[in-house]
Structure 1
Amino acid sequence: MNTLALVSLMIAIAGELAGTMSLRMASSSGRKRWWIGVVAGYVVAFSMLSVTLAQGVPLGVAYGIWSAAGVAITAVLSRIFFKEPLTWVMSIGIILIVGGVLLIEVGGVH
């Protein structure tokens, strides 16, 4: 994975996280301004995921990293910002997600 692909994938992950956190705020606060963050976050996420794919990163690898990082980091951020539960079983799930993505990444290398 070249530098542009890696940076664009990291920005895609950050955009997805921003969109998801904004979605949580929009639904819980009822304030319409959070919807701007939802739309902006997901536009950035999908745009940068597209750039990642255009750089030749296989879809399974790019989407695996993007979605798994989103799930794992969202669970941690939800605990920090919204005091949502993060049990030891959920933590094991996060570890398994990371392990699965690593296996996909290693398996994708030719």
Structure 2
Amino acid sequence: MAWLLLAAAIVSEVLATTALKLSDGLTRWGWTAVVAVGYLASFLLLAWALKLRMPVGIAYAVWAGTGTAAIALIGAMFLGENMNLVKAAGIALIITGVAVLNLAGAH
């Protein structure tokens, strides 16, 4: 159950961050509302996952790393941001780092 809550927290955070870009500096009220609700939901879901005894280091690494990689990909695919080999390598390193932390936490 903790992993499902964490996954929902990640989705909520990614939606909120995408809406943050679309809010044009929090001047577009509809997108600003999505930002506020999304971040609030994300933190609540993350807190509930931690309450179920998910280790904080693992939870935060997965939440932050997955969110960062997802936002970088969304920016490149849908928001007109550039992607190059160095950025792609950075995303791969983030994913690798999260995987290593998870493997280390399993023992």
TM normalised by structure 1 equals 0.92
Which sections of structure 2, spanning at least 5 residues, go unmatched? none
1:81 — aligned with what?
78
Q: How many residues align?
A: 107
Matched, 1:44 2:41: yes
> Letter of the aligned partner of 2:37 in structure 1?
A
Which sections of structure 1, spanning at least 5 residues, go unmatched? none
> Letter of the aligned partner of 2:36 in structure 1?
V
Report the Cα offset of residue 83 of structure 1: 1.1
Report the Cα offset of residue 30 of structure 1: 3.7
RMSD: 1.3
TM normalised by structure 2 equals 0.95
On the 8 A contact 2:19/2:34 being kept in 1, the answer is: yes
SS at match of 2:54: coil
Could you list the structure 1 runs, at least 4 aligned residues long, displaced by more than 3 angstroms after superposition: none
Identity %: 32
Report the Cα offset of residue 8 of structure 1: 0.4
